[in-house]
Structure formats: C-alpha cells, structure tokens
C-alpha cells in the first residue's frame, strides 16, 4: 500500500517529485479505500496496492522514495501530514470511515510504542492491550468523576499506564527473554480478570466514557465549517492524527538520538553495552516507560472516542494483534509499523468476511512472516550515523 | 472453617496441581532439549481434549457402551494424535527457527496457539460454545470425616500422579531418557555420540504434547466441560509454573505446578477479598516471585559466555 504511481515512470524524475506524487497517490488510494462499500471494490483496491507495492520494489521506486525521505525529509513529512488532513477532509461527512481511520491511527501510536520496546530495546511486552485498557479506564474514571480537563486526561492515561508499568519494572528488567514474556503475559491476563471481577470499575459490563472536550468545545458535536455539518469523528480523527504524528516524531527522534543508539546496543548485546558504559537498567526502564506512555495515551483517546469500554476489548488476543502489527511491519521499522497498522486494522474492517477470521488470519500471516521473511514488510535499514551523508557515485 | 471444607479445598488443589504439573513438565521438556518456549502448548492441550471428545462421539456412534473401553479409546486417540501434532509443530515451525532469535520462536508459537484456538472456534462444529465432556468415571464417594472423596477425583489424581512419576522414570531411567538428557545438555556432543538429534527432539515434543493431552482429558473429566479458550489459561499457568519452578528442571515444573494450585486455593479460601480474585492473586504472586528470583526457584544453571 506504499504507492500506486507505477505508471508515471520515475526514472529521471527528481526524488522529491516521485515522493510527492507517491503521497498524492496514497491519499487518493486511502480515500477510495475507506469509502469503498462492496467487497469486490475493496479486494480490487487491495490487489492494486499489492501489485503496486511489488512493482515498486522491483523497479526501484522504493529506493527512489527512500532517497526522497532522506534528502527532503521536511517536505515529505509535511506532505504526508497534509495528505492525512486531506483524507480527513475528504471523508468529513462519513462516520464509519473516520472511525476506522482514527482507530487505525491510535493502533499505530500503540504499535510505535511497542516498537520501541520490541524493536529497539529487545524487551517483550505482551500486555499491550492491558496498557491500552489502563489508558481507557483512566479516561473513563476521570471524565465521569472529576472535572479534570480532558486534554490532561489523555496525558493522565499515559502517566497511569507508565505508573502501573513501574510495578512491573523490577521483574521485567531483572528477567530476560522467556521470563519477562511470562511476566507481561501474566500481567495482561491478571488485568483483564481484575477488571471482570471488580465492581467499582463496572465489572464485565464495562464503563461509559465521557467525550473529549477542548476549551469548552464538546468533541461529540459535529463541527460546522462553511455551513456543512461534519461528522463528529472529524474531531477525533484530527486529534488521533495529531497524536500519531507526534508519536511518530518522538519515536523517530528517540531512535536517531544517542538514547536510541543505547537502546539498540542493549538489544544487540547487553553485556557488551554494559562494558561500554551504557546503563542497561536505565535504558530498559526508559524504553518500557516511553512505550507504555504512548500506549496509555492512545488508549485514553480511544476510550473517549468509542465512549464505552469493557474488559473484553482488552484481551490477550488484542495484545497479540498489536504485537503482530510490530512484527508484520518489521522490528524497529517505524514506516513498517505504519503500513502494518493499516493492514491489520483496516483490512478486516473493510472486508467483513474477514472480521470473524481476523485473529486466525493475522496469526497465520505472522507465522508465515516469521518463517519466510522475519525482517518484516519494510525492514529497518541500517542505522545512519551521518544522516545527511549519501553514498558518492 | 470446618475440616470437611478444608479437605475439599485440599483435594481440589491437589487435582489442579497435578494438571498444572503435567502441563509444566511439557514446557520444561521442550526448553530442555531445544532451549525454546513453545507457547502453543496450552492450545495443543485444548486440541487434545477436543480430539478426545471427538473420539468419544466416535465410539458412541459405533455403539461401545462400556465407560472403561470408551475412556481407553479417548485416551489412545487423543494422546496419539496430540503427540503427532506436537512432533509436526516441532518439525515445521520450531526446528526451522532454531538459529533465529529466541523471541521469534516464542512469537511463532504464540501465534500458532491463537491460530489453533481460532480454528477450533470457527471450524469445529458449534466450536464457539462449551462442550459437555462425558463423566465416564464412577462417581461413588467415600465419606471421610465430613468431606466426601469422590471416586472419580481419586482415580484422576492417582492417574495424573502416575503419569508424572512415569515421565520422571522415562527421563531418568531409560535409554530414551538418557538420549533426551544428553541432547538437553549438549547438542553437539550428543550428535557425536551417535544420537539422532532430530528424532530425539521430535520424540520429546511428542511426549510433552501427549502429557498435555492427558492433562486436557483430565480437565474435561474433572469439570465435565471443555471449551476452545481453556488452553490459553492452562497454558499460561503451566508456563508460569515451569518458570517459577525453574525452566529445564522436571522437579521444578512439578513444584511450580503444585505451588500455583496452592496459590489459587489460598487466594480462594484464606484471603479477605472475594474468591473471584484468586487468579489475580496467583498471577500477582508469580510476578512478585519473578522479581525476587528471576530464573525460578530452582535456578537454571547458566552463565553468559562473552
């Protein structure tokens, strides 16, 4: 789903032109994809995307795009953000496509957080849905029982996820590999069981969440612009988009900084990095907390958007779905995460026949991926120590 | 609390402990020979109990009425099929990833577990609803000073403990067990000594999965119900038990299994809050134990080679 500009012929075109036209193509594609009603239409678009992706890889378009991202990062990033706004604008009267888009953006935020843990630091966290749920329940409790401004509640959701993550930090940091996997899995199951039996938090029936309000403006009222009544999901899509972009930028900055380098070295060899003076414990605490904050903030906004949450939305299977986003995209690959979030969240929503089978489908897909292409759809490239450096030809 | 109720809880805890230990032994065996965690173990167990249930329907259809014969058929079919499945998983999913990062194997088996669970839910006839597992064992009970010990519970527990002892003897007293232990200790040396490495790995996975199938049938007979999701919790409990006991150690697995059952029982009986919190309590203690002893109570002997 990277692009479908295979016809334009980028040979000879400057990378920026190729990059910008790819963004335009993706915007048109995304708009049509979200609007597509019939299954046949959706299947056709999926096939188109697959062919375009394959052809792009074969003919060097991917390389050209990488070049554009590297050489004209600022222009490309603005183009992508404008593109996202354009998709939201084009869909501004459609409830359901916007809901899907926002869910996808929030899952992308979650997967970015998990990617810092899995992909950069090599820590496992199979309680993604639990931290997501902590964010959502925090927003439920705070919106209905207190007068805390909702924007602060988003941050509160993140902080709450981080705080509860701190309870796990000792076992997670002290243990490695399988052992820390069991800690997080046990926590995920514990969390869901706890919610189900706890009457204060609504038990199995769950809780209502109040809507997002910003400076006295209720997000559940559709905004009016030039006399056109828009879907109230526009608000959430904009906020979710902002959150995803912010998460992406933060994660990218983290990856490129010396902190990211420390995280990478911890993943590759703990003993060696400790010998070189990297504080392994601090690196792990940082990655775990950073990831959980992103997951928690996304969860808080998700709760406000769907306005009703129940323990069944935060099961272990959902955690695994989040992990599959990270794996399908490629460990440590941020763009890969974005692409995989589209596939994992949107595809089953659009193809209703798949909805029932989605856990089966994605678990099968990840199994095949791990067997035949363990580096993911868009593998992470080797770290560039001099970002502006390009091979001389 | 009267002594009868206490006895009841004790019997229940022992039963759970036996089941958990059987699952945990599988985890420990796999970890021993391949240094991998096969997280689909719980779902393999679930598949074992569904195979057993299908076998029961089969023998019912051909008109065998004797419960003991039925039980025999269920056990034979289920254990054979599940052991074969375990070997197939090892051959096609675990061995190819042997040199990949350990995380990948954990992930692939987690995903396989989800796939199995979903496959049963979607494709087994009416698979999303619980199935009533037949009560094939005699249900007469003996009154022991206020609490009644049911014959089926006693038989199940005895059988479970016998299987655990049998597995232990198999690992520690036979030539096959010697080969398994040799592979676990050092793959290369074992190969040089003429041990068929792949075969031993497959057989070990078969044995572990067979034990899981047995535990699955025990579970079905005890609760008289099986459902597609039972494997997730049992697998997780078995995994936790193997880990708190210390991976790679069969006694650790048994200890861990009974410890977890004990925690659940204590959580249900002796603590001030509602018994619904028993799993929350048990997993909370597991997490705390991991913080205290990161490699389990009977620690794995390992050192990092730098």
pLDDT digits (tens, 9 = 90+) for B4-38: 777 788 888 888 899 999 999 888 888 888 778 88
Q: Which residues pair with B147 in a beta bridge?
A: B144
* Per-position DSSP letters for B201-247, written without gaps between them: HHHHHHHHHHHHHHHHHHHHHHHSEE-TTHHHHHHHHHHHHHHHH-T
Q: What is the tens place of the pLDDT at every residue in A184-209? A: 988 998 888 888 888 778 777 777 77
Q: What is the tens place of the pLDDT at every residue in A90-131? A: 877 778 888 888 999 999 999 999 999 988 888 889 999 999
Contact A122 B103 (CB under 8 A): yes
> What's the confidence (pLDDT) of residue A223?
63
> What's the confidence (pLDDT) of residue B85?
93
Between B301 and A140, the higher pLDDT residue = A140
Residues in chain B within 8 Å Cβ distance of A327: 107
Mean pLDDT confidence for B114-124 = 89
DSSP state of B90: I
**Nearest residue in A to B93, CA atom:** A371
Which pLDDT band, with edges at 50, 70 and 90, does A13 fall under? confident
Contact B291 A174 (CB under 8 A): yes
Q: Which residue pairs from A382-387 have beta carbons closer than 8 angstroms and sit at least 24 positions apart in sequence?
A: A383/A261, A383/A264, A387/A70, A387/A256
> What's the confidence (pLDDT) of residue B300?
62
Query: Does this model's pTM top 0.90?
Result: no
Between B148 and B190, the higher pLDDT residue = B190
> What's the confidence (pLDDT) of residue A377?
79
Between A14 and B229, the higher pLDDT residue = B229
Mean pLDDT confidence for A287-297 = 94
Q: Measured between CB atoms, which of A171, A174, A182 is closest to B239?
A: A182
Chain A nearest CA to B169, separation (Å): 27
Which pLDDT band, with edges at 50, 70 and 90, does A12 fall under? low
Mean pLDDT confidence for B32-47 = 86
Q: How many CB pairs under 8 A join A and B?
A: 120
Q: Which residue out of A120, A124, A167, A183 would a mutagenesis test of the B interface target, given it has the greatest number of B Cβ atoms within 10 Å?
A: A183
Between B65 and B191, the higher pLDDT residue = B191
Q: Measured between CB atoms, which of A124, A171, A366 is closest to B287?
A: A171
Residues in chain B within 8 Å Cβ distance of A179: 243, 290, 294-296
Average pLDDT, chain A: 82
Average pLDDT, chain B: 85
Q: Measured between CB atoms, which of A124, A171, A317 is closest to B291?
A: A171
Residues in chain A within 8 Å Cβ distance of B108: 366-367, 370-371
> What's the confidence (pLDDT) of residue B144?
67
Is the pLDDT assigned to residue B194 strictly greater than 60?
A: yes
Residue pointed to by tokens 């019997």? B11
Between CA B195 and CA B199, with CA B196 as vertex, the angle to 5 degrees is 135
> What's the confidence (pLDDT) of residue A286?
92
Between A222 and A142, the higher pLDDT residue = A142
- Please state, in angstroms and rounded to a whole number, the distance separating the CA atoms of residues A65 and A17: 10
Contact A126 B110 (CB under 8 A): yes
Between A278 and A234, the higher pLDDT residue = A278
Q: Which residue out of B233, B237, B290, B296 would a mutagenesis test of the A interface target, given it has the greatest number of A Cβ atoms within 10 Å?
A: B290
């Amino acid at each position: 789903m990277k692009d479908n500009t295979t016809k334009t012929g980028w040979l000879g075109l400057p990378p920026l032109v190729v990059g910008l036209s790819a963004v335009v193509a993706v915007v048109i594609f995304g708009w049509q994809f979200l609007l597509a009603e019939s299954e046949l239409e959706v299947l056709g678009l999926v096939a188109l995307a697959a062919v375009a992706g394959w052809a792009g890889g074969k003919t060097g378009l991917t390389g050209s795009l990488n070049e554009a991202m590297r050489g004209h990062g600022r222009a490309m990033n603005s183009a992508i953000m404008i593109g996202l706004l354009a998709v939201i604008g084009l869909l501004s009267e459609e409830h359901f496509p916007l809901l899907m888009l926002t869910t996808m953006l929030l899952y992308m935020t979650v997967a970015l957080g998990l990617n810092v843990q899995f992909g950069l630091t090599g820590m496992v966290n199979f309680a993604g849905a639990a931290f997501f749920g902590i964010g959502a329940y925090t927003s439920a409790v705070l919106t209905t029982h207190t007068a805390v401004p909702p924007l602060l509640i988003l941050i509160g959701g993140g902080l709450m996820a981080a705080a509860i993550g701190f309870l796990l930090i000792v076992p997670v940091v002290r243990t490695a590999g399988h052992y820390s996997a069991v800690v997080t899995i046990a926590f995920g199951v514990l969390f869901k069981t706890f919610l189900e039996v706890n009457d204060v938090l609504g038990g199995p029936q769950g809780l209502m969440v109040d809507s997002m309000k910003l400076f006295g403006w209720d997000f559940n009222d559709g905004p009016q612009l030039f006399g056109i009544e828009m879907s109230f999901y526009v608000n959430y899509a904009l906020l979710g988009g902002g959150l995803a972009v912010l998460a992406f930028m933060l994660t990218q900055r983290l990856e490129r900084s010396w902190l990211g380098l420390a995280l990478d070295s911890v993943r590759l060899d703990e003993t060696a990095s400790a010998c070189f003076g990297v504080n392994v414990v601090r690196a792990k605490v940082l990655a775990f907390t950073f990831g959980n904050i992103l997951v928690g903030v996304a969860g808080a906004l998700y709760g406000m958007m769907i306005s009703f949450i129940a323990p069944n939305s935060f099961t272990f299977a959902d955690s695994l779905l989040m992990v599959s986003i990270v794996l399908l995209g490629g460990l440590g690959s941020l763009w890969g995460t974005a692409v995989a979030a589209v596939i994992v969240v949107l595809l089953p929503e659009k193809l209703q026949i798949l909805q029932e089978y989605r856990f089966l489908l994605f678990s099968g897909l990840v199994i095949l991926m791990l067997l035949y292409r363990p580096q993911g759809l868009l593998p992470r490239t080797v770290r560039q120590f001099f970002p502006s450096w390009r091979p001389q030809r | 609390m009267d002594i009868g109720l206490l006895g009841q809880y004790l019997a229940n805890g022992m039963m759970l402990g036996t089941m958990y230990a059987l699952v945990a032994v599988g985890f420990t065996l796999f970890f021993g020979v391949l240094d991998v965690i096969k997280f689909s173990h719980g779902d393999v167990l679930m598949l074992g109990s569904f195979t057993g249930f299908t076998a029961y329907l089969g023998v019912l259809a051909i008109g065998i009425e004797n419960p003991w014969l039925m039980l025999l058929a269920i056990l034979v079919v289920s254990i054979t099929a599940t052991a074969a499945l375990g070997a197939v998983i090892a051959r096609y999913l675990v061995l190819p990833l042997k040199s990949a990062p350990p995380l990948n194997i954990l992930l692939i088996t987690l995903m396989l577990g989800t796939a199995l669970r979903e496959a049963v839910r979607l494709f087994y006839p009416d698979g999303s609803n619980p199935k009533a597992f037949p009560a094939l064992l005699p249900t007469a009970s003996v009154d022991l000073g206020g609490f009644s010990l049911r014959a089926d519970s006693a038989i199940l527990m005895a059988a479970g403990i016998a299987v655990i002892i049998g597995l232990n003897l198999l690992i520690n007293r036979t030539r096959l067990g010697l080969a398994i232990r040799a592979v676990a200790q050092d793959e290369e040396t074992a190969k040089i000594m003429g041990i068929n490495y792949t075969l031993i790995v497959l057989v070990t996975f078969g044995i572990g999965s067979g034990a899981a199938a047995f535990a699955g049938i025990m579970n079905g007979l005890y609760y008289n119900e099986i459902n597609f999701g039972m494997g997730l919790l049992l697998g997780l409990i078995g995994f936790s038990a193997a880990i708190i006991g210390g991976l790679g150690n069969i006694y650790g697995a048994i200890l861990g299994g009974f410890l977890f059952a004990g925690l659940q029982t204590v959580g249900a009986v002796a603590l001030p809050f509602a018994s619904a919190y028993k799993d929350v309590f048990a997993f909370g203690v597991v997490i705390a134990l991991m913080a205290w002893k990161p490699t389990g109570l009977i620690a794995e002997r390992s050192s990092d080679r730098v």
